[in-house]
Amino acid sequence: MTMEAQAREALARGDLTQVAQIAQQLTIAQPDRPEGFFLLGLAAAEAGQVAKALPMLEQAVARGPEAEHLAQYAKMLILLRRDGDAGRAARQAFALAPDDALTLDTIGCVLARLGDHEATIAPFEAAVAAQPDNAGFRYNLAAACGFTGRIDAARDHYEQILRTDPGDARVHYALAILSRQTQQSNHIARLETALKAAQRPEDTLRIRYALAKSHEDMGHATQAFAYLSQANAAHKKAIGYDPASDAAIFDAIEALFADGPPSNWGSGLDDPAPIFITGMPRTGTTLVDRILSSHPQVGSAGELQAMPLAVKQLSGTRSRLVIDPETIAASAAADPRAMGQAYIARASHHRPEGKAYVIDKLPANFLYIGHILHALPRAQIICLRRHPLDTVWSNYKNLFASQSSYYAYSYDLMDTARYYARFDRLMALWDRLFPGRVLQLSYEALVADQEAQTRRLLTYAGLPWDAACLSFHKNSAAVATPSAAQVRQPLNADAVARWKRHADALAPVREWLAGQGIAAD
């Protein structure tokens, strides 16, 4: 057995010390060959030492491009948020026509992290063709099919996974949100069986959400709320969410901009800036993104972390969180122009080719409106507003990234109401400081008069009228949000006043919001 084979065997059984020892010997015996450096990089990566893994993988790639090496290098780059370099490495790896499934799947995962879901289909399909029994590879392909509108293909792949593993909770939830469940076509019985067999909390969470979604689709309000309340109560306890953590962030933003921008801030970057679509999640941000990106001059870059990361970078704080009170306070010392440059440097890798205008659709950018308007003074910002109780309910009933601090408030109705009230108060601050700079768009108004509100959107963005924006549901671009199914349908009023189905459960929220001066009739 060769030294490389020995090292790979040790890697397979998790003996990272032996991998490193053999790999080190390889680098000494064959300093011009990439294998030793590559294996050192893999060992460091498996140990969670990304910063140590990267230079070893760079050494491997420098000694001759091999698809496996480039794919793992791209994976490390994306973890370090070097998106442009990661994309180039992943695409170079795929161009070398790899035939091993793990390399192909890794390439697809990197492209998915970059938001290029259409480009993930080919490597994911090739990975599944190479290893058709690998459920993880097939799940990635199914998700990519769902994001890109290949609904029947997605369903077929998900069902094939369940034939082998009937308890796969990720798949049960994915199928529930893939399309509307009906009395004639649903998986309630199968989901209840899977729930009884579920042993891990994360599996129970997903299956309860799938049951809640199915019952909600079918008009079973009582059953939907019962499953949701069980799922959310357990998950809130598991993550230990404290509303004070989000309140402190709002406090820090309000303190920073209490009397306008920091006095030491100079001018920002006078370059063309994206159209930012912001707002509470589940308020129509994806819908507006699809409407605008249906215009021939506009492309969507998806939900970018570019602004939060630019603020973090320029603040210089060392906390592990992207946003926290310390980072917001420290950003007062940042240079807005440098902040704008840092944003553009990150966002440019996601810009669709051939489009004069680009959309950044991260809803949480409403927290950064003050930073955006100083770092990128030519930015156009749209903030979606939806009925308070529909907003609270829609956040509560959707399973976001379950470990993300962005959405930790959403597992309790009153926590979500408190978060909404702070959002509402912050938007009032931005409106006072920057009158007319942020277009606050009502979801209900858009549904009631699609053409008038679409014309209003285009006028605000400085775009000529184009009727394609009224046919946003024909937009073929990928959608990787919980709204994927809805935005592939013509605009309708089904989601307006949905909260009324749960009026009794939401009564304490309604009363509390009224006490905060927020009408929720």
More confident residue, 441 or 64: 441
Number of domains present in the structure of the chain: 1
- Evaluate whether residue 485 is within a structural domain: yes
Least confident of 39-53, 129-143, 217-231: 39-53
Q: State yes or no: pLDDT of 341 exceeds 90.
A: yes
**Lowest mean pLDDT across 297-306, 451-460, 488-497:** 488-497
Domain holding 447: CATH number? 3.40.50.300
As a whole number, the mean pLDDT across the chain is 93
In this model, does residue 437 exceed pLDDT 80? yes
Give, in degrees to the nearest 5, the angle at Cα 149 between 145 and 153.
Answer: 45
Task: Tokens 């948020």: give the residue.
Answer: 81
Task: Please report which confidence band the pLDDT of residue 488 belongs to, taking 50, 70 and 90 as the band edges.
Answer: low
Under 8 Å between Cβ of 468 and 295: yes
130 φ, ψ (degrees, to nearest 5): -75, -35
Query: Which ranges of 240-320 does DSSP label H, i.e. alpha helix?
Result: 243-256, 285-293, 306-315
Which residues, other chains included, contact 30 with Cβ-Cβ below 8 Å and sequence gap of 6+?
36
Q: Is residue 238 part of a domain?
A: no
Summarize pLDDT for 378-416 with one digit per residue, the tens.
999 999 999 999 999 999 999 987 677 889 999 999 999
Spatial separation of the C-alpha atoms in residues 190 and 211, rounded to whole Å = 10
* CA 39, chain centre distance (Å): 31
Domain housing 269: 243-515
Q: What is the pLDDT of residues 46-63, one digit of tens each?
A: 888 888 999 999 999 999
Task: Report the alpha-carbon distance of residue 126 to residue 103 in Å, rounded.
Answer: 10
- As a dihedral over the C-alpha atoms of residue 86, residue 91, residue 95, residue 97, rounded to 10 degrees, the angle is 70
Q: How confident is the model at residue 485 (pLDDT cuts 50, 70, 90)?
A: low
Residue at 355 is within a domain:
yes
In a domain, 122, yes or no: no
- pLDDT of 81 reads 87
Per-residue model confidence (pLDDT) at position 228: 95
pLDDT in tens, 230-275: 999 999 999 999 999 999 999 999 999 998 889 889 889 988 889 9
Q: With a cut of 70, say whether residue 487 has pLDDT above it.
A: no
Closest CA to 67 of 31, 108, 27, 13: 108
Structural domain includes residue 146: no
Q: What does the block give as tokens for 346?
A: 């990150």
Contacts of 279 (CB under 8 A, 6+ apart): 285, 363, 366, 383, 384, 385, 386
Q: Note whether residue 423 is domain-resident.
A: yes
Return the pLDDT at 353. 84
Residue 363 gets which letter from DSSP? G
Distance of CA 217 to the CA centre of its chain: 24
pLDDT at 406: 85
Runs of H (alpha helix) within 47-187? 50-62, 67-79, 83-95, 101-113, 117-130, 135-147, 151-164, 169-178
Contacts of 76 (CB under 8 A, 6+ apart): 41, 45, 50, 53, 54, 57
What confidence score (pLDDT) does residue 478 get?
Answer: 67
Lowest-confidence region among 3-7, 142-146, 160-164: 3-7
Please give the Cα distance from 132 to 135 (Å, whole number). 8
Q: Tokens 């294996």: give the residue.
A: 39
Is 203 part of any domain? Answer: no
* pLDDT in the model for residue 486: 67
Q: pLDDT at position 480, please?
A: 66
The pLDDT of residue 1 is above 90: no
CB atoms < 10 A from the CB of 503, how many? Answer: 12
pTM here is: 0.90
Between CA 326 and CA 207 the distance in angstroms is 37
d(CA 28, CA 223): 65
pLDDT at res. 400: 87
Q: Is residue 182 over pLDDT 70? A: yes
Q: What confidence category does residue 38 fall into, taking pLDDT thresholds of 50, 70 and 90? A: very high
- When pLDDT is cut at 50, 70 and 90, the band that residue 309 belongs to is very high
- Residue 404, token pair as written in the block: 């993300």
Residue 31 located in a structural domain: no
Q: Band of the pLDDT at 521, cuts 50, 70, 90?
A: confident
Say what the pLDDT of residue 491 is: 80
Contact 20, 42 (CB under 8 A): no
